[in-house]
Structure 1
Amino acid sequence: GRQNDVEGHMENTNGNFITGIPFIDNNIWGDQSEMPAKFQNESTVKFFMLPLILGLLGFFFQLNKDFGRFYAILSLFILTSVGIVFYTGVKPFEPRERDYAMVGSFYAFAIWIGLGVAAIYWFLQKKVKQKYAQIAIGVILMGIPLMMGFQNYNVHDRSGRYAAYDYAYSSLKSLPKNDIMFVYGDNDTYPVWAIQETEEFRKDVKVVNFTLLSTPWNIDQVKRRTYDSMPVPSTLTHEDYREGSNDQVYMMTKDDWSNIFANLKDQGAPDTEFAAFRKYLTQDSMTLKEAINFLKMKSPEKDEIVKMIFGEERYEKFNFLPVSKFVLPVNVNNAVKSGIITPAEAQKAEKQIVIDYKGSSMFKNNMMMLDILANFDWKRPIN
């Protein structure tokens, strides 16, 4: 059984198992009759240890009757319970319950529960010869899964729960036409994908998962047409974001440039060496288009700088940007045409937006976002 569905952190009141037997529960978690009402909800279920007892009966019954199959199920149970915990290194507390990771062990124990019923029936068949008595015993044993089913139904019933649907519908409905919508995790992504797929709602919106955007296969997907939505605007090719290319982009600072040129001077290098990069001793910004072009640029001098930053062994995987401040020009006319701003707002619109990137490194998802911003030219809304 279970106290409630409140996420617990070792408290006596949140999400612990209970048996429904006061003597046991009160000794483990304290007097359950004094549990505040707010900790009791439809997820409070009591099975009186009956599934556990049946499972243990089935465990020992199979152990004695069929060791070969018992060993197979025991292996499944251990590997998909304790084994999974050790293999994945599960943390003590997670954002949500992770019991689904051990679902294989549930299947194994469910087999033992079934065998436990068979064990009781097998034993009583020898003791009770009357047919009607045997049927009555079977009916009684059927009461256990029925009890569990009735208690668990409300806990698992998702009818009438519209949070995910309402979120997806409201989010998509509020967006301008042909919008590019950035989402981040599973809870804000799957509902939107689902309503687009099943109800064909707002198929003009391009949904881009920022987390998945760090993978080359997903970048390939967003650069293709989806439903009625056009590909994201981008000039980076697959070669620019494949695995082993631009895996990490280092953001250079003025101090980095000063150190590089000071080291070159100490080594006796002439001032003409790396001349194309010396401007970054004073220049602290560039447009987004210039930044994307810089990432795509290849030259021996640039490779030498990458080697200085990352070392010579795997430098081909990495890249750098000479500044960490980027300018996005605002095309006011396109912004009005695409519905990003109204004609009345056009008079107050900024001429450019300055993006001051605070991180020391950039990975593929941020790189792709900059690529999209560099090339959308305010012809499509982005949210």
Structure 2
Amino acid sequence: SYLNREQYGDRPLLMGQFWDSPYANEREDGNPVYTATYQIKKDGRAVKNVYDQWSAQHFVEDNPGHTVDHAYIITDARKGSEPVYDPDFTMVFPRMYSAQRNHISAYKEWSDFKGRPMRTKDREGKPTIIYKPTFGENMKYFFSYQMDWMYWRYFMWNFAGRQNDIQGSGNILEGNWMTGVKTIDAERLGNQRLLPPSMTQNKGYNHYYLLPFLLGLIGLVYQMFRHSRDWAVVMLLFFFTGVAIVIYLNQTPYQPRERDYAYVGSFYAFAIWIGLGVFALFDAARTMQQKELGTVVGAAFGLGVLKYLVESIGDGDHAISYAILYMAVLGGVVLALFFVLGRTTRNEPVAGLLAVIIGLAVPGVMVAEGWDDHDRGNRTPARDLASDYLESCAPNAILFTNGDNDT
């Protein structure tokens, strides 16, 4: 059970319960628990099992003709240990399954829960009504919390900017992503010109102005149209180390720590597109046609306008549409610059040098903004504590750990 991580419990993925699903009458058997023992044998037949080597050896010494072997025995058959939920109260792709009280309240908040009333009987057989989340509410929690807050937010920390290094649980003051473009950030987080020094002087207050994100999008689009098979490989890497992990983890609210490290593989994949974005700018000077330039810029502006209209109809903020339009303008200017450069000078070394300068300027902004909160110089408590632990152990000691520190 230790190697199977059973101490962490189970979570439904494709089909399962929600937080208030009643049990069915029957229960299923769980996986039996095996324990390593020293098995004492005589004439090839098991006589008894003991759990420590000392007892086994002394028994054999006191009882000639016996031998000791290793054996695993079932110490907990776990018969009827797995609950079975009433199928009327299960759903496809369940996201809100935890019955912890604080999780339930957060589920309701993130999903705008109203529920669908369903008649059933309680444990005493009395009629009762349970409000079951609709599939739409289930998916709203998935997109608003698991995808937006627990993935997209971390993604944008790395490629757009970060508000601070305070762990957040959904409010606008802690742990959000931000760009440094005040018009965009004001839509999501309020007027950024009125922030007190306690917030602006936080070492995690990093503004990348969407520059890494824009360069990555340029590389993504470039590879998709010029080398679609290579793009598919990178996209699969991006998906399975990002969104697929979100689906598999099926995270509950109020995680004990920020989980950005779980998705670092997808950030690496996007960094590939950032690198290709630099080459895409150089290649624009060599091969881009005026029609292609107009199509790319026009599509970006069209997407921004369409998103703005959708946001207006839905009475939402305009942060995303403003960000798209901002990147359309900035990206359009940069692509047009390389297009004109290629048409007027036809000097590939100059175009290459300019692309390299832009390629260095973007990570330069990231270094300037993020160095202070990534500097690990003179931070020794973790190392010192680990050293103290190990110094107190005998040679070849076996260390037992607790909780999720089992690596």
Question: Which structure is richer in relative contact order (CA contacts within 8 A, separation 6 or more)?
Answer: 1
Q: Please state which band the TM-score falls in when normalised by the shorter chain.
A: 0.3 to 0.5
What's the TM-score once normalised by structure 1's chain length?
0.45
State which structure, 1 or 2, has the greater radius of gyration over its C-alpha atoms: 1
What's the TM-score once normalised by structure 2's chain length?
0.42
